[in-house]
Structure 1
Amino acid sequence: MSVYDHFRKEELPFVERALEMLTLVERKQAMRLTDFLDPRQSAILQSLTSQVQDVVVSPWGGYEGAERVRVLLHPPYLTPETEEYRLTLLRIAADQRFHRLEHKDVMGALLNAGLKREKFGDMIVDASGCYAIVAAEVADFVRTQVTQIHRTPVAFEEVEWDSFTPPAESYQEKMITVASPRVDAVIGEVYHLSRAKAVIPIRAGKLKVNWKIVDDPSYPLEAGDMVSLAGWGRFKLLEASGPTRSGRIRLQVGILT
Structure 2
Amino acid sequence: MSIYQHFRLEEKEFIDQVLTWKSYVEMNYAPKLTDFLDPREQFIVQSIVGHNGECKVQFFGGIQGAERKRALLYPDYLQPNEDEFQIQLFEIHYPEKFIQLTHPKILGSLMGIGLKREKFGDILMEQKRSQFLCAKEIADYVRLHFHHVGKAKVRLEACSLSQAIQVNEQTEEHDFTVSSLRLDAVLSTASRLSREKAQKLIENGQVKVNFKIVESPSYQLQEGDLISARKIGRMKLASIGEQTRKNKWRITLEFFH
Please report the TM-score for the alignment, with normalisation by the length of structure 2: 0.75
Give CA-to-partner distance per residue, 1:25-84, whole Å, 9 cap, x none.
011111111011111111100110149931110111111111111111111110112221
CA RMSD of aligned residues (A): 3.9
Contact 2:38/2:210 (<8 A) preserved: no
**1:42-81 correspondence runs (5 A):** 42-50=42-50, 53-81=53-81
Structure 1 residues 55, 165: CA separation in 2 closer, same or farther (over 3 Å shift)? same
1:250 match = none
Structure 1 residues 80, 50: CA separation in 2 closer, same or farther (over 3 Å shift)? closer
Structure 1 residues 92, 218: CA separation in 2 closer, same or farther (over 3 Å shift)? closer
Provide structure 1 residue ranges, at least 5 long, that are not aligned to the other structure: 172-179, 238-252
- Kindly report structure 1 stretches of 4+ aligned residues shifted beyond 4 Å: 186-190, 209-220, 253-256
The partner residue of 1:183 within 186, 196, 209 is 186
The partner residue of 1:198 within 196, 201, 219 is 201
Structure 1 residues 143, 51: CA separation in 2 closer, same or farther (over 3 Å shift)? same
Give CA-to-partner distance per residue, 1:155-201, whole Å, 9 cap, x none.
11101222224221179xxxxxxxx99335358867xx835523425
Query: How many aligned residue pairs are there?
Result: 230
User: Secondary structure at the residue paired with 1:62?
Assistant: coil
**1:216-231 correspondence runs (5 A):** 216-217=217-218, 227-229=227-229
| C-alpha distance in structure 2 between counterparts of 1:81 and 1:234, whole Å | 34
2:26 match = 26
1:4 match = 4
Q: Which letter maps to 2:197? A: S
**1:78-157 correspondence runs (5 A):** 78-127=78-127, 129-157=129-157
Contact 1:39/1:211 (<8 A) preserved: no
Structure 1 residues 233, 185: CA separation in 2 closer, same or farther (over 3 Å shift)? closer
User: Secondary structure at the residue paired with 2:209?
Assistant: strand
Structure 1 residues 90, 29: CA separation in 2 closer, same or farther (over 3 Å shift)? same
Q: Which letter maps to 1:208? A: V
| C-alpha distance in structure 2 between counterparts of 1:31 and 1:80, whole Å | 9
Q: Which letter maps to 1:183? A: V
Q: Which letter maps to 2:85? A: Y
Provide structure 2 residue ranges, at least 5 long, that are not aligned to the other structure: 172-178, 237-253
Please report the TM-score for the alignment, with normalisation by the length of structure 1: 0.75
Contact 1:23/1:52 (<8 A) preserved: no
Structure 1 residues 43, 236: CA separation in 2 closer, same or farther (over 3 Å shift)? closer
Q: Which letter maps to 2:113? A: A
Structure 1 residues 164, 216: CA separation in 2 closer, same or farther (over 3 Å shift)? same
Structure 1 residues 25, 215: CA separation in 2 closer, same or farther (over 3 Å shift)? farther
User: Secondary structure at the residue paired with 1:118?
Assistant: helix
1:177 match = none
